[in-house]
Amino acid sequence: MARILFAWELGEGVGHLVPLRPVLEELVAQGHTILVAATDIRSAQSVLRHLTDVFVQAPMNVDTRFELGRMSEGVADLLTLNGYSDATSLRGRHTAWCALAALLKPDLIIAEHSPGALLMARALSIPAVHAGTGFTLPPEQRPMLFPGFEAAANIPREDQLLHSFNALIAETGGQPLVLLADLYNRVAKRFLLTFAELDQLGPRRGVNYLGADVPTQGEIPSWPDGGSKVFAYLKPFPALEQFLDAATSLKISLLMVPDRINPAILKKYQASNIRFVTQRQSMQAIIESADLIAFNGNHGTATAGLLGGVPMLAFPLHQEQEACTRRLADSNLGIGMLRNRPGKVQPLMESLLNNTQQKENSLAVAQQYKKFRYQNSIDWMLNELSELL
């Protein structure tokens, strides 16, 4: 039986873990051993502790010299902001990944938003599977740009990283990269866990979109008094209070899961038509009754809105969420507020609520996926993995 290293290096949230959990569960049932290298051990254990006792810290950037606060222009820029263009930082991280491989002795690596693990796998000639959304599994192109940016400055960034990566790969006799995109795409298998409508760097031709799941676990929603039913899953963002003001003014029925929001704000807006809940809600039940979903543009919630035919209003906080927001808007699934414009919040909500055309657009996309079952994608991934094990 095989030893399989699941690697998660960048990003935050269990959305990097949950889509692959059923695949890992079946691999364990088949007798394989799962090992986990994660950027966030607590989150990884909360999702995967029933599968393994082996959790190690993924090598990651801790150097405060690198500016993480600005938007990255593309994949190479994102790597640069995470320390990959600094020779000392890169070598240290790569050495740590190779040491993990020597310690854990994996036969296969499954990487989710983990370029360091992919580089290590290529350098040591260990078969690698790359799984993720359109943002973490970028397309085969040069340069790999994020929406809204130009190619010019990013081509030399990719060339610099390509040279540095190939130098490390050559030290251990691995297959060199031709393009930086090869790090992500020239692997044993690719699992693109999204839909064309939500592919942050797509849509793409000739790829197998495996989609994503809508969780059924969680509380059945208990809607407060009010008119249109709006479900919100929100972290703090600049126009948060304007959003809550609009909910009050429009007298909607707002059921909200607040994430790290100041309790004083929640107390201020507690009302008969606004209910704040701390327990996880069943997204399957939410999409069966909600008229609108308001969120920060995370892929998992966007998946629920797409499959449920529920219009969406997004307030993205970072690059990945902004890319998802742009795609859902392009796909006529809702609207996003890409810049802080507090005065626009209520008009945006009004433009989506009781909007017959928007509802028809959202339902039309959902209808295309009426026969979609994530279990079929799980079975496909397991069949692909069986060729490597």
Please report, for the domain that includes residue 56, its CATH number: 3.40.50.2000
Token pair 């950027």 is at which residue? Answer: 39
In this structure, is the dihedral angle defined by the CA atoms of residues 136, 139, 143 and 147, taken in order, positive or negative?
A: negative
Q: What is the DSSP letter of 176?
A: P
Span 303-329, pLDDT tens digits: 999 999 999 999 999 889 999 999 999
Q: What is the DSSP letter of 271?
A: B
Find the domain containing 65 and state its range.
3-211+373-386
Q: Let me know whether 350 and 378 are in one domain.
A: no
Q: Let me know whether 246 and 107 are in one domain.
A: no
Token pair 């000639």 is at which residue? Answer: 125
- Domain contains 251: yes
pLDDT score for 69: 56
Distance from chain centroid for Cα 117: 18
Q: Let me know whether 49 and 100 are in one domain.
A: yes
Q: Let me know whether 282 and 162 are in one domain.
A: no
Q: Let me know whether 10 and 121 are in one domain.
A: yes
Q: How many domains does the chain have?
A: 2
In this structure, the chain runs to a length of 389
User: Is residue 216 scored above 90 in pLDDT?
Assistant: no
- Domain contains 221: no
Percentage of the chain beyond pLDDT 90 is: 88
Q: Let me know whether 166 and 259 are in one domain.
A: no
Span 238-261, pLDDT tens digits: 999 999 999 999 999 999 999 999
- Domain contains 37: yes
- Domain contains 207: yes
d(CA 278, CA 366): 28
Q: Let me know whether 45 and 89 are in one domain.
A: yes
The model's pTM: 0.93
Confidence label for 343 from pLDDT (cuts 50, 70 and 90) = confident
Span 219-230, pLDDT tens digits: 999 999 999 999
d(CA 106, CA 35): 8
> Phi first, then psi: what are they for 16, rounded to 5°?
-80, -10
Angle 121-122-125 from CA coordinates, rounded to 5°: 80
Q: Let me know whether 238 and 353 are in one domain.
A: yes
Token pair 């959790």 is at which residue? Answer: 55
**106 preceded by cis ω (within 30°)?**
no
Span 14-34, pLDDT tens digits: 889 999 999 999 999 999 999
d(CA 311, CA 294): 9
pLDDT score for 202: 87
In this structure, is the dihedral angle defined by the CA atoms of residues 191, 195, 200 and 206, taken in order, positive or negative?
A: positive
Q: Let me know whether 250 and 321 are in one domain.
A: yes
Confidence label for 49 from pLDDT (cuts 50, 70 and 90) = very high
- Domain contains 354: yes
- Domain contains 222: no
Q: Let me know whether 8 and 72 are in one domain.
A: yes
Q: Let me know whether 293 and 156 are in one domain.
A: no
d(CA 19, CA 191): 11
SS3 55: strand
What phi-psi label fits residue 126: left (phi over 0), alpha (psi between -120 and 50 degrees) or beta? Answer: beta
- Domain contains 224: no
Span 357-387, pLDDT tens digits: 999 999 999 999 999 999 999 999 999 999 9
Q: Let me know whether 264 and 164 are in one domain.
A: no
